[in-house]
A and B are shown apart, each in its own frame.
Chain A
Amino acid sequence: MKKMGFKGSIFIIPILILIAIFSLWPVLQSFTYTFFDYQLNDRSKAGLYLNDRFNVDLFNESSTYIDLFLERDMDNITEEEDVAKAEDLMARLDELDQEFEGESGVITIDDSVKEDIQAFHEDASTLVSNFNEKYDMQTGQNLPDIVADVDNSLIESNFVGLANYKKAFKDAFIGTATINTLIFTGVSVFLELILGLGMAMIMDKGMRGQGFIRTASLIPWAIPTAVAALMWSYLYDGTAGVVAEIFANIGLIGAPTDLLQTGAGAMTAAILADVWKTTPYMAILLLAGLQTIPKSLYEAGSIDGASKVQQFINITLPLLKPAVLVALLFRTLDAFRVFDLIYVLTGGGPGGSTETLSIYSYKVMFAQTNFGYGSVIVMIMFVIVAIIATIYVKVLGADVMEKN
């Protein structure tokens, strides 16, 4: 094998750029989101603000009005001491004004400025409420609101450290979603493996029409999951759905409407739709594995007097193991991140009974626009996926990684 050298690096620069921008950077960015109270629908939280910030425009506006209102009411303030206090306050306001001269929009500020503004706000609001009690102020109704805007122009950092993770530990929805995801993944992958293996062995018998069977098998795999999900939601429909009708007639469910409108029914429906879509794919993968097993082994087996069952256990299973494990690994991860199927078929309902981690995180991110907390859920998925993958790779040993 050649050394690549400088010129050769042109071969891998495109893939490095694409993976860096569209796969690795988003992962790191999502991880960063988890440490912020990052909510798109709240202007003060719609970004990652490590520092406190200050809305200069809002401050200037309120400062102008405070000046204006206090001057207008100066005549109503009778006690000399209070006049001095009011003038002192206006002087402090002038100082702050000068500090932000030439600035506009939202700027970052440091702690001392922040403290000055907070102190000013506190003093101003006590003074204003004092005045309101003592005197009949012309602007008495509006002044407190204007003073409050001084505080509103301070936008605090939305860095929350591990608070989102703490919240996740107490969030019952995450527990439910995890259990739903694991049930969906476990049951559907198990059924797909058993049925897929059975189908693969039947197809391996080499009957006529194999091409036709293979073509038919590829169709469920090839059509978009969202399209398949909508198709099944029609077949499962309580009034117009033929599958719901058949299930009710043979006594699997009480009434046709039970399928999508009860929790257990909806989960079963989702699993069956997934089994329908993926078993043929599994069968094709396993068939390819079966066809690499030399037929002479079976002939030798039957000469030695091994029964079909013995042949299956002693020849087929051990030799098929790598193919089975690879298929299982990718199917498990696929099922674990299930989104399209459930989003279109049940939307996570009824009552959250089919809400998986993907669905929950998507709802938190894009329906509640809470990217910070949504990213925590995604990170939890990431960790579980890493655990599943590690277990499989350990079991597989060198088979996956050393292929190349």
Chain B
Amino acid sequence: MAKQKHPNSSKSNWLFLVVLAFYLVVVVFPFLWIFITSFKSTGEIFGNNPFNIIPENPTLSHYSSVIFDKGIFTAIWNSLVVSGVTTIYIVFVATLAAYAISRFDFFGKNLLLGIVLAVSMFPQMIVIGPIYNLFVDLGWTNSYWITLPYSSITLPMAVWILVTHFNQIPMALEESAKMDGANRFQTLFRIVFPLAAPGVFTTAIIVFITAWNEFVLAITINSDASYHTVPVAISFLRTQFEILWGQVAAATTLVTIPTLLIVLFFQKQIVSGLTSGGVKE
């Protein structure tokens, strides 16, 4: 990874550092500013000096109102449930499918791959209308059943990443397992799964983040506040006539923490998942 290349001159080295610093500032600045704002009083945010870096009278009132009045933790809980359930069943289904695609020859395999690719490309808006009607008919609006249609955005990418990973695991291991009398499922779960675990874990993280970020389905199908997920709940913090910036800032800070932790701990897996679709290894 970190192959040290020695830049010819210290001049270009400096240029790189400046560009890099600018890049980091631009990337991090919005969060920093939101974090600062979350401690400012509403009077200061809309006052004569809205651009102070250090809040005049630091306050936690925005935090207490998003936690106690707006129930931001309900939204975080909903998001955890929905994204967690989606991750578990999607990774299971995608693992089975990707294993079959990587190891067996079967009728319609290319068609299946083509459909998976097509589904990952088509506009999500195309499924909303029929899914909405289906959920209304079944009485599934405002429930955790929303995890099922999440499959249309998460399943294709999960299959794609897993197929890439399975293709890197040598077949010889499975053949020797078969000689020892293991059946296909034993082979998959005892031999292949442990070897594929890093890939499966990578897939799980990417699926989780994708489900966590989903917006259109969530705002359309789960319109009741008690079933709002994080992105939807946050978008509802604007009232008709003014946006409560202090509360937006406090809520954004709170809901970004889980994402930050995931990125901090799993950045290697995320990068490997993001790039496995596009780069030959």
| From B34, B212, B279, contact of A323 by CB (8 A) | B279
Nearest B residue (CB) for A399: B280
Q: Is A30 an interface residue (CB 8 A)?
A: yes
Please state if B275 and A284 are interface contacts (CB–CB under 8 Å). yes
Please state if A22 and B152 are interface contacts (CB–CB under 8 Å). yes
| From B99, B119, B167, B212, contact of A404 by CB (8 A) | B167
User: Which of A74-82, A85-93, A263-271, A375-383 forms part of the interface with chain B?
Assistant: A375-383
Chain B contacts for A202, CB-based, 8 A: 16, 19-20, 23
Q: Is B126 an interface residue (CB 8 A)?
A: yes
The smallest beta-carbon distance between A250 and chain B, in angstroms, is 14
Nearest B residue (CB) for A392: B121
Binding site for A on B (CB under 8 A): 1-5, 7, 16-17, 19-20, 23-24, 26-28, 30-31, 33-34, 37, 45-46, 50-51, 92-94, 96-97, 99-106, 112-117, 119, 121-134, 148-149, 151-152, 155, 159, 163-164, 167, 184, 209, 212-213, 215-216, 220, 230-232, 234-235, 237-238, 243, 245, 248-249, 252, 255-256, 259-260, 262-264, 267, 270-271, 274-275, 277-281
Main secondary structure of the interface of B (DSSP, over half): helix
Chain B contacts for A288, CB-based, 8 A: 271, 274-275, 278-279
| From A2, A23, A222, contact of B103 by CB (8 A) | A2
Roughly how many angstroms separate A281 CA and B27 CA in the complex, as a whole number?
Answer: 11
Please state if A235 and B270 are interface contacts (CB–CB under 8 Å). no
Chain A contacts for B209, CB-based, 8 A: 222
Please state if B215 and A340 are interface contacts (CB–CB under 8 Å). yes
Question: Could you write out 21 A-B pairs with CB less than 8 Å apart?
Answer: A8-B100, A9-B106, A11-B96, A15-B112, A18-B93, A22-B149, A26-B129, A199-B23, A214-B271, A215-B263, A215-B267, A222-B270, A224-B213, A225-B215, A234-B245, A285-B278, A285-B279, A289-B279, A295-B3, A385-B123, A389-B121
Please state if B102 and A404 are interface contacts (CB–CB under 8 Å). yes
Q: Is A227 an interface residue (CB 8 A)?
A: yes
* Chain A 51-100 interface residues, beta-carbon cutoff 8 Å to B: none
| From B19, B37, B255, contact of A227 by CB (8 A) | B255
Given the known A-B contacts A12-B112, A227-B234, A292-B280, are A385 and B122 also in contact in the complex, defined by CB atoms under 8 Å? yes
The smallest beta-carbon distance between B133 and chain A, in angstroms, is 8
Chain A contacts for B104, CB-based, 8 A: 1-4, 8, 11
Roughly how many angstroms separate A320 CA and B235 CA in the complex, as a whole number?
Answer: 39
Given the known A-B contacts A3-B104, A23-B119, A333-B121, are A242 and B256 also in contact in the complex, defined by CB atoms under 8 Å? no
Given the known A-B contacts A15-B96, A226-B235, A240-B245, are A23 and B127 also in contact in the complex, defined by CB atoms under 8 Å? yes
The smallest beta-carbon distance between B36 and chain A, in angstroms, is 10
Given the known A-B contacts A292-B279, A366-B220, are A239 and B123 also in contact in the complex, defined by CB atoms under 8 Å? no
| From A26, A220, A234, A404, contact of B37 by CB (8 A) | A234
* Chain A 202-242 interface residues, beta-carbon cutoff 8 Å to B: 202, 205-207, 210-211, 213-220, 222-235, 237, 239-240, 242
Q: Is A371 an interface residue (CB 8 A)?
A: yes
Please state if B262 and A378 are interface contacts (CB–CB under 8 Å). no
Please state if B245 and A237 are interface contacts (CB–CB under 8 Å). yes
| From A280, A371, A379, contact of B27 by CB (8 A) | A280
The smallest beta-carbon distance between B155 and chain A, in angstroms, is 6
Given the known A-B contacts A12-B96, A19-B119, A295-B3, are A219 and B263 also in contact in the complex, defined by CB atoms under 8 Å? yes
| From B122, B132, B151, B216, contact of A18 by CB (8 A) | B151
* Chain A 322-381 interface residues, beta-carbon cutoff 8 Å to B: 322-323, 326-327, 330, 333, 336-337, 339-340, 343-344, 358, 361-362, 365-366, 371, 374-375, 378-379, 381
Nearest A residue (CB) for B185: A10
Please state if B130 and A323 are interface contacts (CB–CB under 8 Å). no
Greatest chain A CB density within 10 A among B126, B213, B232, B245 is at: B126
Nearest B residue (CB) for A320: B279
Q: Is A29 an interface residue (CB 8 A)?
A: yes
* Chain A 110-158 interface residues, beta-carbon cutoff 8 Å to B: none
Q: Is A247 an interface residue (CB 8 A)?
A: no
* Chain A 288-310 interface residues, beta-carbon cutoff 8 Å to B: 288-289, 291-292, 295
